[in-house]
Amino acid sequence: MNIPAYSLLIACLLPIVAAGMQKWGARDYDNHNPRQWAQHMEDPRRHRALAAQANSWEALIVFAAALLFALHAKLDPSLRDALCMTFIVARLLYLAAYYYDKALLRSIIWFVGFGSSLALIGKSIA
């Protein structure tokens, strides 16, 4: 199983999942002007989903770069795979914690996910 490839694919899909969380059950969603619609959302969960989507794009950039470092450095596959899976699980939990307004838990989970990306880079340099 190619854990790095699947991890990158899932990481690419997470911002889309967060976008779906914004629209989930929205009867007033305007597909003609989605950004304007997002500015006028009343449900705080939708606002948090929008913020989670932005953070997912940011996390994707760091993770993709970290994964490239790890693959180029031929990092130990078991360590690389474990860090990739840690990142994905953390990001999934992050989306849920953000949506349900668990601020402290969300911050801890964010640190775990970001830390796994940093660990991929750090171990690749070592």
Domains and CATH numbers, the chain: 3-125 (1.20.120.550)
pLDDT surpassing 80 at residue 91: yes
The answer to which of 32-36, 53-57, 69-73 has the lowest mean pLDDT is 32-36
Displacement of CA 49 from its chain's centroid (Å):
12
Q: Residue 36: its pLDDT value, please?
A: 78
Q: H-type helices in 1-126, by residue range?
A: 3-23, 34-39, 44-72, 77-99, 103-125
For residue 106, the number of C-alpha atoms closer than 13 Å in the C-beta half-sphere is 16
The answer to which of 12-16, 21-25, 67-71, 103-107 has the lowest mean pLDDT is 21-25
Distance CA 109, CA 89 (A): 9
E strands, the chain, in order: none
Q: Residue 87: its pLDDT value, please?
A: 98
Give the sign of the dihedral formed by CA 55, CA 93, CA 68, CA 70. Answer: positive
pTM confidence score? 0.91
The answer to which of 14-23, 64-73, 114-123 has the lowest mean pLDDT is 14-23
Q: Residue 48: its pLDDT value, please?
A: 92
